[in-house]
Amino acid sequence: MSAPIPIEDFFEDIIAKSMRGHHISISELREKTGVDDDILQRLIRGEFCDEPALIKVAKALHLDPQALTMSASRVWNPRPVSLEGVAQCNTPYRDMRVNAFLIWDPASKEGAAFDTGTDSSLLINKADDLGVTIRQIFLTHTHNDHIADLDRLKSACGDVPAFSNELEPWPGTGTFAEGKSFTIGSLTVATLTTSGHSPGGTTYSIEGLERPVAIVGDAMFAGSMGGGIVSFENAWKNNREKILTLPDETVLCPGHGPLTTVGEEKRNNPFFAAEFR
């Protein structure tokens, strides 16, 4: 059995993303919280040295204090998810790791790949092992770690069609607008534009398996979210209104880190938990 995939973001990553997203400097955070500079610097570096100070930082950064404290304490991980029709392929990229996913209809064995990771052979081999035929490739967004092996994957699958959001087109792919529907055998795939981390970041909401599934790319991670590189405000809003309104049992398949669920994130994600308490 392979080792569990670790959480992508530690509490200091969450603090840094929120500071960038809300345009709050260290000096402004110090002024807002009244936290001693040494303690504040240690928290920002990832030292969980003072819980009352961390709670002040959370409130100043519009983060849920309880969820951020849990993150800093390393006491939370999403419960393991295993679902027929979903396979996670995790490959290295620089100093991190990136996910791609194989989704298939268990009855027909028709499947689709979502992103490629840095080595699509994992997807290809998984499909071969399961007797699944990859008919389509879907891109959540076009950052290099997610599409690095697209050409090889397309070639290995018989040059099947690949798709990207029209707000973030990629050469060699067909484009779609939000709301376009696809099928994978008997499964249905709805498209939601969850931009903010990238211009046309897309969540693919899939129905037809034992539980609903959403391939979210870098919009959201277990216990965190993408960096909001294009727009933190839009990223947060799209996550809140388009992903976290899906049923609680929906399995979330993020671009980095372990699988999670909508219910887990509503309870435990520092960026969003306050909205649901």
In-domain check, residue 3: no
The count of domains in the chain is 2
In-domain check, residue 238: yes
What's 233's domain CATH number?
3.60.15.10
Helix (H/G/I), strand (E/B), else coil: 198: coil
Is residue 15 domain-shared with residue 145, that is, in the same domain? Answer: no
Helix (H/G/I), strand (E/B), else coil: 262: helix
In-domain check, residue 6: no
- Token digits for 211? 């539980």
Give me the pLDDT at residue 2, please.
62
In-domain check, residue 189: yes
| Whole-structure pTM value | 0.97
Is residue 144 domain-shared with residue 213, that is, in the same domain? Answer: yes
Q: What are 5-25's pLDDT values in tens digits?
A: 999 999 999 999 999 999 999
In-domain check, residue 81: no
Q: Which domain holds residue 248?
A: 86-275
Beta carbons within 10 angstroms of residue 268's beta carbon: 20
Is residue 92 domain-shared with residue 145, that is, in the same domain? Answer: yes
Contacts by 1-7, CB closer than 8 A, 24 or more apart = 4/77, 4/80, 4/258, 5/88, 5/90, 5/97, 5/99, 5/257, 5/258, 6/257, 6/258, 7/77, 7/221, 7/222, 7/223, 7/224, 7/257, 7/258
Q: Which residues of the chain have pLDDT under 70?
A: 1-2
Q: What are 188-214's pLDDT values in tens digits?
A: 999 999 999 999 999 999 999 999 999
Q: How far apart are CA 277 and CA 274, in angstroms?
A: 5
Give me the pLDDT at residue 277, please.
79
Give me the pLDDT at residue 1, please.
45
Is residue 144 domain-shared with residue 37, that is, in the same domain? Answer: no
Q: Which of the listed residues 21, 39, 73 is the one where a domain comes to its end?
A: 73
Given a contact cutoff of 8 angstroms between Cβ atoms, the answer to whether 174 and 205 are in contact is no
Q: Which residues of 120-139 are buried (b: 16+ CB within 10 A; e: fewer)?
A: bebbbebbeebebbbbbbbb
In-domain check, residue 225: yes
Give me the pLDDT at residue 4, please.
84
In-domain check, residue 129: yes
In-domain check, residue 146: yes
Provide CB contacts within 8 A for 3, sequence distance 6+: none
Is residue 37 domain-shared with residue 106, that is, in the same domain? Answer: no
